[in-house]
Amino acid sequence: MEKRSSMDRLSALPDDIICHILSFLPTKISAATSILSRRWGFLWICVKKLDLWLEHATLPRCLFTCKTLVDLTLYDGCVGMPSSGPVFLPSLKKLHVCRVKYQDVEAFPQLLSGCPVLEELIIRYNYLDCFNISSPTIKRLTVQCERNNFDSSVKINAPELRHLQLRDIAFAGSIVKFDNLTKLELGVEFCFLMKLLEIADNLEVLILIVKPHNWMEPKQVPTCLLLHLRTIKIDQFWFEGHEFNMVRYLLKNAQVLERMGIHLMYSDLKAKSYAVKRISSFKRRSEACELAFH
Amino acid sequence: MVTTDEKGPLTAKKKSVIIRSCDGDEFLVSESAAVLSTSLKKILEEKEDRLIHLSDIDNKTLAMVIAYLSTHADDGLSDDLKRSFDQEFVSGKEFDVLKYLVLATDTLQVTCLCYTVAKKMADIMKNKLVEWVRREFDIQNDYTPEAEAEIRRLDAWAWDDRQLEDD
């Protein structure tokens, strides 16, 4: 083949073009390119989004000191994260861990402490019994465990939190108040709902996503009910006595509530019309509150 | 279409542009095609004269990029036709040709084509051996044999199922 005039320049495609090409490869293959040369050893991690399926794997150590990584998803790891060695991910904004095992309880807190700009954290189906989530920057947090496994608990220390979703996990408390929290989605025992309402004074939206088990009226009305809670959505209403009691309490005490939406779980017309009638007759502290059944 | 790849001195009529490759050949391109390249668009906005000299894009590559731009500027073609043109455009091209294309589209900021070409290159790379990738990217292996063995050991997870196989 005839030699082109610009051949010399081409012997090295610029880093950003190589990264662009590597971004179309599954992470597993793009990471394998580190074998090519010293320069390529670092190129694959300039890809901004990584998806890693771990399967009996140890993560490469350089992954935890990547300066450019913005979005990291880790799935199905047996060994997972190292508990020793430096962790510094100065650009990481979104971290999603799903079924990842940790070498020890320190591994996860250590990972978080190395993410100075993290905004979104999603933890699903984990193998740790007690989760300590401490981050001065996260704004959105989702923690979801196996169904009906209330052995797992989570402690949250995240003053910037705006949106929290907890599902099938016990809430073990927080050392700070959630002053910025405006949206709360819960699939947990009622006692945890109350615990959360008490520290989220500025909450505006409350969504209850799974069937509750019991209900106990709190001694004191949480501040958010008096000042800010505007929307309540109940995703599963099973017509049980304690559910009626909870709805009655919320309607009676939520001072600025604008809308309560209730999804009725039985299609029997008679039962439905009874529930609608009964709930509609409850006293509403906020006169403007609208009820919606579906 | 105004586009032509005839060689020889050209005079740009209204609404067309002359683009000169690094080999010195000139291409007459409709302005509507040229402005699909963000870089060319910027140049045209800034300068009066209709001759653009691209000092780092050769004849062959430039002709391909212009064919792409002209097709995409043709309002008579449906989006479906343009999409199938894109697929045709990269299929069967040698890796070396794609390298020049990806570089040219990056320089000219033709985002869609740059995307298509980079994706095609990734597809070709997917199942190749390390030696193939080193050769095609002109990569000098600067690891010592010991270092290379160590990397293979450390990053064993990436090699588990024999990625980068030969064709």
**B125 to chain A nearest CA, in Å?**
9
Establish if B80 touches chain A: CB-CB under 8 angstroms. Answer: no
Find the domain containing A190 and state its range.
177-294
Same domain, yes or no: A187 and A259: yes
- Cα of A38 vs its chain's centroid, Å: 37
Check residue A35 and give its pLDDT.
Answer: 81
Residue ending a domain, among A159, A174, A189, is A174
Same domain, yes or no: A170 and A185: no
Same domain, yes or no: A155 and A112: yes
Q: Give yes or no for residue A264 having a pLDDT over 70.
A: yes
Give residue-wise pLDDT tens across range B51-80. Answer: 899 988 999 999 999 999 999 998 888 888
| Stretch A127-153: mean pLDDT | 81
Check residue B70 and give its pLDDT.
Answer: 93
Residue ending a domain, among A110, A141, A174, is A174
A58-62, Cβ contacts within 8 angstroms, sequence gap of 24 or more: A58/A82, A58/B157, A59/B157, A60/A31, A60/A34, A60/B154, A60/B155, A60/B157, A60/B158, A61/A85, A61/B154
| Stretch A59-71: mean pLDDT | 78
Instruction: Give the residue on A whose Cα is nearest the Cα of B116.
Output: A21
Same domain, yes or no: A197 and A267: yes
Contact A35 B151 (CB under 8 A): yes
Same domain, yes or no: A115 and A203: no
Query: Which of chain A's residues have a Cβ under 8 Å away from the Cβ of B138?
Result: 10-12
Q: Nearest by CB to B151, which of A14, A22, A34?
A: A34
CB of A99 closer than 8 Å to CB of A78? no
Residue ending a domain, among A158, A174, A190, is A174
Q: Give yes or no for residue A5 having a pLDDT over 60.
A: no
Contact A20 B126 (CB under 8 A): no
Check residue A148 and give its pLDDT.
Answer: 59
Contacts of B40 (CB under 8 A, 6+ apart): B17, B19, B34, B52, B108
Q: Give yes or no for residue A149 having a pLDDT over 80.
A: no
Percent of chain B clearing pLDDT 70 (strictly above) = 83
Nearest alpha carbon to residue A141 among A105, A104, A180, A110: A180
Contact B155 A9 (CB under 8 A): no
Same domain, yes or no: A38 and A106: no
| Stretch B122-136: mean pLDDT | 85
Average per-residue pLDDT for chain A? 82
Read off the tokens for A241.
């006595």
Check residue A49 and give its pLDDT.
Answer: 62
Nearest alpha carbon to residue B98 among B70, B74, B118, B125: B118
Strands (E) across chain A are located at 49-53, 71-81, 94-102, 120-124, 130-134, 140-144, 153-157, 163-167, 170-171, 183-187, 205-208, 231-237, 259-264, 290-293
Give residue-wise pLDDT tens across range A166-219. Answer: 988 888 888 889 999 999 999 887 778 888 999 999 999 999 987 667 778 888
Helices B38-46 and B95-108: crossing angle, nearest 10°? Answer: 40
| CB atoms near residue B55 (< 10 Å) | 8
Burial (Cβ within 10 Å: 0-12, 13-18, ≥19) of residue A27: buried
Check residue B160 and give its pLDDT.
Answer: 44
Check residue B118 and give its pLDDT.
Answer: 92
CB of A275 closer than 8 Å to CB of A238? no
Bridging pattern class, strands A153-157 and A130-134: parallel
User: Comparing A248-262, A279-293, B140-154, which segment has the lowest mean pLDDT?
Assistant: B140-154
Establish if B134 touches chain A: CB-CB under 8 angstroms. Answer: yes
Check residue A99 and give its pLDDT.
Answer: 77
Contact A24 B118 (CB under 8 A): yes
Percent of chain B clearing pLDDT 90 (strictly above) = 39
Strands (E) across chain B are located at 16-20, 26-30, 51-53
Read off the tokens for A237.
């209403």
Check residue B166 and give its pLDDT.
Answer: 42
CB of A178 closer than 8 Å to CB of A200? yes
| CB atoms near residue A154 (< 10 Å) | 23
ipTM (interface predicted TM): 0.80
Same domain, yes or no: A183 and A284: yes
Q: Give yes or no for residue A147 having a pLDDT over 70.
A: no
User: Comparing A55-64, A87-96, A110-119, B134-143, which segment has the lowest mean pLDDT?
Assistant: A55-64
Same domain, yes or no: A81 and A149: yes
In angstroms, rounded to a whole number, what is the distance separating the alpha carbons of residues B9 and A288? Answer: 78
| Stretch B82-94: mean pLDDT | 90
Domain ranges of chain B: 9-158
* Banded model confidence at residue A63, pLDDT cuts 50, 70, 90: confident
Establish if B114 touches chain A: CB-CB under 8 angstroms. Answer: yes
In angstroms, rounded to a whole number, what is the distance separating the alpha carbons of residues A65 and A87? Answer: 6
Q: What is the CATH number of domain B9-158?
A: 3.30.710.10
In angstroms, rounded to a whole number, what is the distance separating the alpha carbons of residues B132 and B163? Answer: 13
In angstroms, rounded to a whole number, what is the distance separating the alpha carbons of residues B67 and B93? Answer: 15
Residue type, B60: K
Same domain, yes or no: A39 and A56: no
CB of A42 closer than 8 Å to CB of A31? no
Establish if B49 touches chain A: CB-CB under 8 angstroms. Answer: no
Residue A75, SS3 per DSSP:
strand
Give residue-wise pLDDT tens across range B21-47. Answer: 999 899 999 999 999 999 999 888 888
Bridging pattern class, strands B26-30 and B16-20: antiparallel
| The total number of structural domains that make up chain A | 3
Residue in the structure block whose two tokens are 């590597």: A22
What is the 8-class DSSP label of residue B163? Answer: -
* b/e burial code for range B76-86 (CB count within 10 A of at least 16 → b): eeeeeeeeeeb
Check residue A1 and give its pLDDT.
Answer: 37
Q: Give yes or no for residue A251 having a pLDDT over 80.
A: yes
Same domain, yes or no: A68 and A120: yes
Q: Give yes or no for residue B12 having a pLDDT over 70.
A: no
